[in-house]
């Protein structure tokens, strides 16, 4: 192929296969969309009312205002802020479902859900200011769930997880008046403000954009992550496999795709159920393979080591193998093209959320209350469907990986049960073995060569001794490239980072989970500040974030909450903001003073790496650790100054 | 690759936990689960399980809990490919190893005869000492605090030759470090190598042979854990504080000598939990990134001639040693050595010959720095076994020098002389006594080197107040008798000056936070009439120390307004104590045992505590190992008093404080003492009799009970009632 769509040969191989079979994929449709609308790409198209739609001429010629008089910066700001609101709503609605599930687990012993991590429950209770003295875990869980749910509807005050952030960061937010009050409230206000004729000041719009995004990162997403850990267990390092090769020729293949683990956890249980396994064997299969796509895959990987079939752009390709007996989808990143594609195969497509139905797919209403029974029904149907399988074409490639690096797992990994802490991380950043930490996250996007942005960027960063933390489809891309194996430290990491990886036994790229699990990175950054030696605030840390192949509104919400938390964040592909110079100046420049973190857009992954490396080096200089730290020998006087 | 270290350490942990399980089961089967286990004369329960887990293990059966904890911690061995992170697991395996060690060693202590000597040093045919008792720990504790011992080296295995073993031991001693030896490899150990070379070992010389079993390494880490509990104010079970305290206060490291097997790897992993790195002479790979330890975790291979300096660098230790130009090794580690008559070349002063030591301040132009004269015969001019008189006449000059500092500098001559290997020194003033060994004489030590020692050490330690030092050494009767009266006149003048120093006569007291290196919240307030509780620092010492190091641990504190004259409370003191104790102590009384008494670090010479039914107090010296009428041995009592905690009814103090007019004067003073251990009572007899006479009680000394007449509070009450002790008629204590 002259111009491969992906750097993953498995993808290219499957695309060839699809082409010969006359199957349409996302890449075909992407080609048909070219060229993209220049107004839309630059954020200059306004559909806030029906006096328009209006557009601003990006060349400087007329029109320069919408019908109502809205300028480029107002239109760009409103569009960008609406994306933040959508992304925040998506993560937070996911969080709400988890909180409701915890409430169910706490009150209904027959729900099938359990309170699996009591230690984490206690920690979250403490953050929430809930007394844990002499309380049974169900009572604690009930109070935590109620408190989390209250955070969605609160009208005044502050959401609970804000307190996890460094003091100095909280003070910045309070001074700007952007500590989220209630998660839903900020989203509603954002939508209000960006409707016709309300907030017409791009800076003011984006200030609330920050508040809304914080309600995602430190609100909805964090509720989702932390409460999922309580319910399903806090992830710890675990082995897994990735890529389409994980699909089995001889097993019944059930693929879960979407985001919420509430059902997939039950599917994981059902797939191990002896009765169902026997049923599968009696149907002529050797067993049941439960594999994942997208973030649901990440959720079941980090807790159960279940295999990942691919990232978001591979959902159609999984079906195209002909080996998927059932594909179960819930919410977010599900392509409406799936039912049409499934028609070419025996694959049974089931939507499970009443919030997300697709014409042509079977809809089952599965709620937390009936999830286990629902899961068993699904597996039964998949088994029954196994007999209908036609020819299969499963690519051979699959890659080993180690994932599951939650904040707690990192703490343990760096010192065990007795000395676990982030001290070794900070120490090795201070002494320069590790130059800094970068979060590389986000989606896949057919506008660019699939996986190239993620893999190219991460390769460059770890070679420059920057430890990489990943979530979402970005993590899946790097997993397929082999970066999530501990052996990759020797092959790809710089000398200093490799040395630390060897001492700890970790890969140079740490997979922390799904896209709501970006909240784990916020907690990790706060812990780095708390441990000390790297400044007083997240914005002092030698860290950065990137989403090199982003596409979803959720990514914009994530980018904005990282920036508002003090992290320099670079987006690949491009941002729909270039239509307004004033707006660009605001989020690319003025944010530096406002938040200590700012946005950048750069389509080339090598240049993204350069930006991140320069930024990290500049932060190191500012901290006085530009050249690493010299060995200090302690005499008695100095020892007395050391904290015990 | 450090996966190799992880694999070996985790494997070693599995082996040791399995061994602990076997040996414990056998011991329980043989002796029963209720058989008592303890490390004798230690105030705490088995130190690792008590300090790290908060367990209070007293029986063989109780060890099963510890075994369960060890098993729970045991991680899987890392896989060859696609391994999961192993650092945390390795450290957990290390901790499991320490638990297993403690089980195995505790079981050993149930055997008769005991596998270890109760003494502080080896005896003919018995090398191993096992766990340090509390007397040792408190005596040695102060050295870890005041920098005479900056840390310890836990040496496991053996050296290629005895000569190398001796060289490493001497180098560690000269760096003032304690050397803890354990873990023989195929029957060969460093301690045995030193024994073969006739090197004097024991706590006195800082060369401590713990045991030849690999599990005896636990006595080094047990010592560290007890230090954290006794001095560091760490609560049992607060493992984070115990371990962080060790990382930042106890500068220890492991020297792995010779082949390092799985079990020794496991010990090293245990030590890393404490922040103690391992330096090996063989190639066992490296763990260089920092974090659990201050710097590297494992460094190897290091050649023997560089291993000590490398270890010190890796641990992040700064040791400043005054170089003394003499032909024998020199350092505090040699202070404890004895010179037996048959090893002695010459004896000076003592009971047979006259002698004295005198130091005086002079004008700058009167002293020629570095001038050393020997008046009388040199050592090589007298026959072996000779006895000679000896006088040191030391003249110092300096712009900061004051007459008050003369006795302080003079008293240190004892320490300085003893630091030379092959020189033994006792006494002071005109009761001095010195022996020089044959070995030292053969190595070229001469009397003039005494001058070199004094010159170098005074410059080294008092450089801030002294600019010039000259020394005359007299070894001839005539000149000594000519000068001795001048010295004696000076001694009398100083005694009178000291007697005239009262708390009321001065405006400032001195703080001593030297021990904050060990007890972070403890503050000593040293007044003219209450010396530091360790007995090592009086008010004048505090004053001099402040001159020497104006920003150091001894600060002048203005008393300011009197809050309560009887209890000894002043506004200025209270404010200082509040801040210096990191806001943990609101106030304290200098003269009361009941009402906000002064806190202790853990280095106290004595503990006094109330015996409620007697209306009096008891006082016990730290060398007394027996039971006291309080129902607690010294070691247990110490646990309630140390660590900077204020405990009404209990104080730690110096021996001499008992004789002070301000000794618990708020409660009526030394008249309250109803029990004292016999040795202390004998030692303080003149002072106690004087106090009695002052109160008009002729036989006060006899009225005080001791262990020969009373070991319970009831017996004390019966005895003092019979003797009509004054405490019975004093106002109630509470």
- Considering the segment(s) A244-386 as one domain, its CATH architecture is 3-Layer(aba) Sandwich (3.40)
Q: What is the pLDDT of residue A2?
A: 58
Sheet (strand A399-403) strand order: A362-363, A348-351, A326-329, A252-257, A288-293, A308-310, A238-242, A399-403
Beta strands in A362-465 (DSSP E): 362-363, 399-403, 436-440
Contacts of B321 in chain A (CB under 8 A): none
Question: What confidence category does residue B142 fall into, taking pLDDT thresholds of 50, 70 and 90?
Answer: low
Whether pLDDT at B536 is above 80: no
Whether residue B306 contacts residue B283, with contact meaning beta carbons closer than 8 Å, is answered with no
Q: What is the pLDDT of residue A1?
A: 46
* 3 state SS of A538: helix
Nearest to B6 by CA among B97, B77, B100: B77
DSSP letter assigned to residue B378? -
Token digits of residue A502: 């060897």
Spell out the residues 6+ positions from residue B163 whose beta carbon is closer than 8 angstroms to its own.
B197
Whether pLDDT at B336 is above 80: no
B461 to chain A, minimum CA–CA distance in Å?
14
Cis bond before residue B301 (omega within 30° of 0) = yes
CB contact under 8 Å between B86 and A504, yes or no, is yes
Whether pLDDT at A388 is above 50: yes
Token digits of residue B70: 């060890």
Token digits of residue B430: 């005109």
- Which residue of chain A is at minimal alpha-carbon distance from B239? A418
Cα–Cα distance measured from residue B445 to residue B437, given in angstroms and rounded to the nearest whole number: 9
Contacts of B318 in chain A (CB under 8 A): 633-635, 638
Mean pLDDT, residues A529-542 taken together: 96
Mean pLDDT, residues A568-593 taken together: 97
DSSP letter assigned to residue A218? I
A386-395 burial, b for 16+ CB within 10 Å, e for fewer? beebeeeebb
Question: What confidence category does residue B463 fall into, taking pLDDT thresholds of 50, 70 and 90?
Answer: confident
Cα→Cα distances A285→A252, A253, A328, A386, A396, Å: 6, 10, 19, 8, 19
**Looking at the complex, does the CB of residue B90 fall below 8 Å from at least one CB of chain A?**
yes
Whether residue B328 contacts residue B417, with contact meaning beta carbons closer than 8 Å, is answered with no
* 3 state SS of A11: helix
Mean pLDDT, residues B531-550 taken together: 83
Query: Which percentage of chain B shows pLDDT scores above 70?
Result: 99
Please name the residues between 217 and 256 in chain B that touch chain A, using a CB distance below 8 Å. 232, 239-241, 243-245, 248-249, 251
Q: Where are the alpha helices (DSSP H) in B549-599?
A: 571-580
Q: Is the dihedral of CA A300, A409, B49, A503 positive or negative?
A: positive
Question: What confidence category does residue A186 fall into, taking pLDDT thresholds of 50, 70 and 90?
Answer: very high
* 3 state SS of B85: coil
Token digits of residue B122: 């080896």
Phi-psi region of A103 (alpha: psi -120 to 50; beta: other; left: phi over 0): alpha
Q: How many helices (H) and strands (E) does chain B have?
A: 23, 23
Q: What is the pLDDT of residue B518?
A: 66
Mean pLDDT, residues A69-85 taken together: 98
As a CATH number, domain B2-315 is: 3.40.50.2030
Query: pLDDT tens digits for A117-167?
Result: 999 999 999 999 999 888 999 999 999 999 999 999 999 999 999 999 999
Q: What is the pLDDT of residue B146?
A: 67
Query: pLDDT tens digits for A246-283?
Result: 999 999 999 999 999 989 999 999 999 999 999 999 99
Listing DSSP states for B385-418 in one string gives TEEE-EEEEEEEE-TT--GGGHHHHHHTHHHHHH
Domain ranges of chain B: 2-315, 332-496, 508-729
Q: Report angle CA A313, A91, A527 to the nearest 5 degrees.
A: 105
Pairing type for strands A288-293 and A252-257 reads parallel
Mean pLDDT, residues A308-324 taken together: 98
Cis bond before residue B113 (omega within 30° of 0) = yes
Phi-psi region of A541 (alpha: psi -120 to 50; beta: other; left: phi over 0): beta
pTM above 0.90, yes or no: no
Listing DSSP states for B262-293 in one string gives HHHHHHHHHHHHTT--EEESS----B---SSS
Whether residue A168 contacts residue A540, with contact meaning beta carbons closer than 8 Å, is answered with no
Cα–Cα distance measured from residue A219 to residue A149, given in angstroms and rounded to the nearest whole number: 11
- Which residue of chain B is at minimal alpha-carbon distance from A633? B316
Mean pLDDT, residues B343-361 taken together: 92
Q: Which of B84, B147, B232 sits opposite A402 (nearest CB)?
A: B84
Average confidence score pLDDT of chain B: 91
Place of tokens 């659990």: B292
- Which residue of chain B is at minimal alpha-carbon distance from A404? B84
Rg of the Cα trace of chain A?
A: 24
If one counts every other C-beta atom within 10 angstroms of the C-beta of residue B258, the result is 21
The mean-pLDDT minimum among A74-78, B12-16, B423-427 falls in: B423-427
* 3 state SS of B652: strand
Average confidence score pLDDT of chain A: 96
Query: Which percentage of chain A shows pLDDT scores above 70?
Result: 100
Cα–Cα distance measured from residue A307 to residue A239, given in angstroms and rounded to the nearest whole number: 9
Domain ranges of chain A: 30-68, 72-232, 244-386, 414-623
Q: What is the ipTM of this complex?
A: 0.95
Domain boundaries B332-496, CATH class: alpha beta
Query: pLDDT tens digits for B87-134?
Result: 999 999 999 999 999 999 999 999 988 899 988 999 988 999 999 988
Q: What is the pLDDT of residue B586?
A: 85
Beta strands in B193-308 (DSSP E): 207-211, 251-257, 278-280, 298-299
Query: pLDDT tens digits for A190-207?
Result: 999 999 999 999 999 999
Query: pLDDT tens digits for A283-303?
Result: 999 999 999 999 999 999 999
Cα–Cα distance measured from residue A55 to residue A70, given in angstroms and rounded to the nearest whole number: 10
Mean pLDDT, residues B142-154 taken together: 80
A429 to chain B, minimum CA–CA distance in Å?
10
B584 to chain A, minimum CA–CA distance in Å?
15
Output B139 or B667, whichever has higher pLDDT: B667
CB contact under 8 Å between A499 and B288, yes or no, is yes
Cα–Cα distance measured from residue B105 to residue B38, given in angstroms and rounded to the nearest whole number: 10
Fold category of A72-232 in CATH: Substrate Binding Domain Of Dnak; Chain:A; Domain 2 (1.20.1270)
Whether pLDDT at A32 is above 50: yes
Size of interface A-B (CB pairs under 8 A): 140
Q: Report angle CA B352, B358, B364 to the nearest 5 degrees.
A: 155
Please name the residues between 288 and 327 in chain B that touch chain A, using a CB distance below 8 Å. 288-292, 294-295, 297, 312-313, 316-320
* 3 state SS of B484: helix
Output B321 or A297, whichever has higher pLDDT: A297
Whether pLDDT at B201 is above 50: yes
Q: Report angle CA A535, A541, A547 to the nearest 5 degrees.
A: 160
Question: What confidence category does residue B137 fall into, taking pLDDT thresholds of 50, 70 and 90?
Answer: confident
Q: What is the pLDDT of residue B428?
A: 80
Identical topology for domains A244-386 and A414-623: yes
Fold category of B508-729 in CATH: 3.40.1470
Mean pLDDT, residues B718-730 taken together: 95
Rg of the Cα trace of chain B?
A: 27
As a CATH number, domain A414-623 is: 3.40.50.2030
Spell out the residues 6+ positions from residue B478 whose beta carbon is closer than 8 angstroms to its own.
none
């Amino acid at each position: 192929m002259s111009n491969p769509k992906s750097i993953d040969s498995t993808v290219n191989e499957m695309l060839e296969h699809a082409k010969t079979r006359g199957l349409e994929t996302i890449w075909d449709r992407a080609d048909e969309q070219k060229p993209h609308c220049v107004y839309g790409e630059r954020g200059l198209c306004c559909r806030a009312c029906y006096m328009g739609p209006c557009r601003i001429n990006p060349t400087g010629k007329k029109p320069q205002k919408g019908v109502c008089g809205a300028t480029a910066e107002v239109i760009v700001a409103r569009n960008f802020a609406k994306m933040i609101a959508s992304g925040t709503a998506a993560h937070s609605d996911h969080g709400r479902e988890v909180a409701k599930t915890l409430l169910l687990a706490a009150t209904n012993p027959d729900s099938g859900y359990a309170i699996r991590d009591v230690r984490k429950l206690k920690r979250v209770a403490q953050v929430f200011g809930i007394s844990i003295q002499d309380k049974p875990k169900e009572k604690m869980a009930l109070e935590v769930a109620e408190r989390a749910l209250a955070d969605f509807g609160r009208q005044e005050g502050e959401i609970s997880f804000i307190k996890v952030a460094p003091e100095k960061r909280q003070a910045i937010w309070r001074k700007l008046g952007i500590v989220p009050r209630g998660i839903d409230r900020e989203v509603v206000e954002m939508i209000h403000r960006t409707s016709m004729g309300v907030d017409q000041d791009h800076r003011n719009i984006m200030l609330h954009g920050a508040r809304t995004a914080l309600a995602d990162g430190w609100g909805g997403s964090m509720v989702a992550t932390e409460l999922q850990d309580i319910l399903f267990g806090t992830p710890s390092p675990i082995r897994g496999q990735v890529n389409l090769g994980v699909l089995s020729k001889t097993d019944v293949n059930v693929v879960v795709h979407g985001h919420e683990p509430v059902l997939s956890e039950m599917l994981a249980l059902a797939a191990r159920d002896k009765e169902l396994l026997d049923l599968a064997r009696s149907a002529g299969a050797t067993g049941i393979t439960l594999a994942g796509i997208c973030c649901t895959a990440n959720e079941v990987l980090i807790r159960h080591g279940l295999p990942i079939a691919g990232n978001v752009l591979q959902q159609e390709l999984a079906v195209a193998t002909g080996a998927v007996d059932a594909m179960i989808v819930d919410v977010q990143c599900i392509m409406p093209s799936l039912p049409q594609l499934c028609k070419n195969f025996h694959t049974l497509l089931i939507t499970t959320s009443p919030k997300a139905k697709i014409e042509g797919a079977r809809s089952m209403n599965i709620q937390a209350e009936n999830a286990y029974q629902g899961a068993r029904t699904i597996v039964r149907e998949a088994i029954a469907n196994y007999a209908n399988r036609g020819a299969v074409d499963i690519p051979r490639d699959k890659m080993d990986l180690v994932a599951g690096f939650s904040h707690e797992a990192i703490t343990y990994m760096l010192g065990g049960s007795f000395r676990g802490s982030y001290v070794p991380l900070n120490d090795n950043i201070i002494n320069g073995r590790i130059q800094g930490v970068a979060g590389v996250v986000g989606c896949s996007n057919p506008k660019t060569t699939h996986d190239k942005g993620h893999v190219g960027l991460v390769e460059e960063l770890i070679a420059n001794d920057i430890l990489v933390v990943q979530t979402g489809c970005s993590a899946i891309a790097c997993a397929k490239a082999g970066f999530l194996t501990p052996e990759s430290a020797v092959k790809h990491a710089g000398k200093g980072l490799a040395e630390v990886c060897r001492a700890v036994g970790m890969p140079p790229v740490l997979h922390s989970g799904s896209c709501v699990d970006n909240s784990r990175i916020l907690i990790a950054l706060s812990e780095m500040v708390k441990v000390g030696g790297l400044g007083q605030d997240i914005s002092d840390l030698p860290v950065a974030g990137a989403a090199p192949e982003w596409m979803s509104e959720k990514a914009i919400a994530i980018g904005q909450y990282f920036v508002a938390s003090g992290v320099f964040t670079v987006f690949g592909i491009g941002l729909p903001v270039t239509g307004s110079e004033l707006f660009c100046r605001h989020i690319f420049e003025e944010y530096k003073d406002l938040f200590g973190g700012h946005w950048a857009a750069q389509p080339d992954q090598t240049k993204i790496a350069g930006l991140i490396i320069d930024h990290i080096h500049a932060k190191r200089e500012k901290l006085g650790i530009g050249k690493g730290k010299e060995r200090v020998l302690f005499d008695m006087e100095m020892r007395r100054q050391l904290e015990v | 690759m450090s996966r190799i270290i992880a694999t070996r350490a985790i494997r070693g942990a599995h082996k040791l936990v399995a061994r602990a399980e076997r040996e414990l089961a056998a011991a329980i089967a043989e002796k029963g689960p209720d058989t008592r286990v303890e490390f004798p004369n230690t105030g705490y329960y088995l130190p690792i399980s008590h300090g790290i887990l908060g367990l209070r293990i007293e029986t063989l059966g109780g060890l099963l809990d510890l075994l369960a904890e060890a098993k729970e911690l045991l991680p899987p061995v890392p896989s060859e490919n696609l391994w999961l992170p192993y650092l945390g697991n390795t450290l957990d395996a290390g901790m499991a190893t320490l638990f297993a060690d403690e089980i195995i060693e505790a079981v050993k202590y149930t055997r008769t005869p005991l596998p270890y000597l109760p003494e502080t040093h080896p005896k003919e045919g018995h090398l191993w000492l096992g766990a340090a008792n509390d007397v040792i720990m408190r005596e040695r504790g102060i050295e870890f605090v005041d920098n005479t011992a900056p840390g310890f080296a836990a040496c496991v295995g053996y050296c290629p030759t005895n000569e190398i073993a001796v060289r490493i031991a001497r180098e560690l001693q000269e760096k003032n470090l304690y050397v803890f030896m354990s873990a023989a490899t195929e029957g060969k150990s460093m301690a045995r190598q030193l024994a073969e070379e006739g090197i004097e070992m024991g706590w006195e010389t800082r060369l401590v042979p713990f045991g030849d079993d690999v599990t005896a390494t636990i006595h080094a880490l047990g010592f560290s854990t007890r230090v954290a509990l006794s001095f560091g104010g760490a609560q049992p079970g607060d493992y984070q504080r115990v371990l962080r305290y060790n990382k930042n206060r106890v500068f220890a490291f492991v020297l792995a000598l010779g082949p390092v097997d799985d079990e020794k790897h496991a010990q090293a992993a245990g030590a890393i939990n404490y922040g103690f790195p391992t330096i090996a002479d063989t190639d066992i790979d490296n763990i260089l990134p920092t974090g659990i330890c201050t710097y590297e975790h494992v460094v190897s291979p290091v050649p023997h001639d560089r291993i000590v300096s490398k270890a010190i660098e890796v641990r992040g230790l700064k040791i400043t040693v005054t170089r003394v130009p003499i032909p024998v090794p020199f350092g505090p580690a040699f202070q404890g050595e004895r010179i037996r008559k048959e090893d002695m070349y010459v004896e000076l002063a003592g009971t047979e010959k006259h002698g004295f030591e005198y130091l005086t301040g002079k004008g700058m132009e009167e002293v020629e720095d570095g001038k050393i004269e020997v008046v009388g015969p040199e050592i090589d001019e007298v026959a072996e076994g000779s006895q000679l008189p000896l006088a040191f006449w030391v003249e110092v000059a300096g712009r900061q020098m004051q007459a008050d500092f003369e006795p302080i500098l003079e008293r240190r001559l004892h320490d300085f002389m003893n630091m030379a290997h092959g020189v033994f020194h006792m006494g002071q003033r005109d009761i001095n006594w010195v022996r020089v060994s044959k070995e030292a004489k053969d190595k070229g030590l001469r009397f003039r080197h005494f001058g070199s020692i004094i010159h170098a050490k005074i410059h080294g330690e008092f450089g801030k107040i002294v600019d010039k030092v000259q020394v005359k050494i007299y070894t001839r009767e005539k000149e000594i008798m000519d000068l001795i009266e001048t010295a004696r006149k000076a001694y009398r003048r100083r005694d009178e000056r000291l007697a005239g120093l009262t708390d009321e006569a001065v405006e400032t007291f001195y703080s001593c936070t030297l021990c904050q290196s060990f007890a972070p919240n403890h503050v000593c307030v040293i007044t003219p009439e209450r010396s530091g509780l360790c007995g090592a620092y009086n008010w004048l010492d505090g004053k001099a120390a402040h001159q020497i190091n104006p920003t150091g641990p001894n600060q002048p504190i203005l008393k300011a307004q009197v809050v309560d004259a009887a209890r000894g409370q002043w506004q200025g003191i209270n404010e200082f104590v509040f801040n210096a104790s990191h806001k943990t102590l609101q106030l304290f009384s200098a003269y009361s045992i009941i009402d906000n008494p002064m806190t202790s670090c853990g280095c106290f010479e004595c503990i006094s505590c109330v015996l409620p039914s007697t209306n009096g107090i008891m006082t016990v010296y730290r060398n007394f190992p027996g039971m006291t009428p309080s129902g607690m041995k010294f070691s247990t009592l110490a646990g309630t008093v140390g660590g900077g905690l204020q405990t009404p009814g209990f104080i730690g103090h110096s021996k001499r404080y008992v004789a002070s007019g301000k000794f618990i004067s708020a409660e009526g003073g030394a008249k309250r003492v109803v029990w004292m251990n016999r040795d202390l009572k004998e030692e303080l007899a003149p002072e106690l009799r004087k106090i009695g006479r002052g109160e008009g009680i002729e036989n006060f000394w006899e009225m005080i009970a001791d262990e020969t007449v009373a070991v319970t509070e009831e017996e004390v009450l019966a005895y003092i009632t019979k003797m009509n002790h004054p405490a019975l008629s004093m106002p109630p204590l509470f």
